[in-house]
Amino acid sequence: MNKLKRRSFEGSWDWFSSVGSALLSAEWDFRMHAPDFDESFDSDSFSKKRWAEVPEQIRKDVERHVLAHLPADALAKLRKLHACGIPISSDPTFFHFGGGMAVRNLCRERLSDDELVACGGFGADWDNCYIGVLAAIAATRQ
């Protein structure tokens, strides 16, 4: 009959207690810290970048068309946001399902979705570009 050997844990407690003491005495800092950015984050930057990849002549044509059909109050709001440095996408006036839908439809009157993909590359669609159109309009002089 095999006898099971009993393991001796004598002295083990000393090891565990010394490790435990070291862990408890260590200074731990688990707080979350905000990243330190030199510049503030621009939530419109992705859309601006996507729109900048479209050839300039096509961009200007679409921007002129949207500018000509944008209501005066929306244009004033757009210019105010730009002047204050507030991201356009943060304002409810140009929200995706509100005024943003109207802007995307104006853009489609000049450049279809398929044409945008053809000249803007992979990922170019009006959902990702319409804020870039508005930012370009806001940056122009009155």
Helices (H), 26-98: 45-52, 56-69, 72-84
pTM: 0.71
C-alpha 83 chain-centroid distance: 20
Reference 132, options 96, 89, 98, 75; nearest CA is 89
pLDDT in tens, 16-63: 556 555 555 555 555 666 665 666 778 899 999 999 999 999 999 999
Q: Give the Cα separation of 124 and 120 in Å (integer).
A: 5
pLDDT at 88: 94
Tokens found for residue 96: 């995706």
pLDDT in tens, 73-132: 999 999 999 999 999 999 988 887 888 999 999 999 999 999 999 998 887 899 999 999
Return the domain boundaries, the chain: 45-139
**Eight-class DSSP state of 44:** T
Asked if 117 and 61 count as a contact pair (C-beta separation under 8 A), the reply is no
Tokens found for residue 58: 């096509």
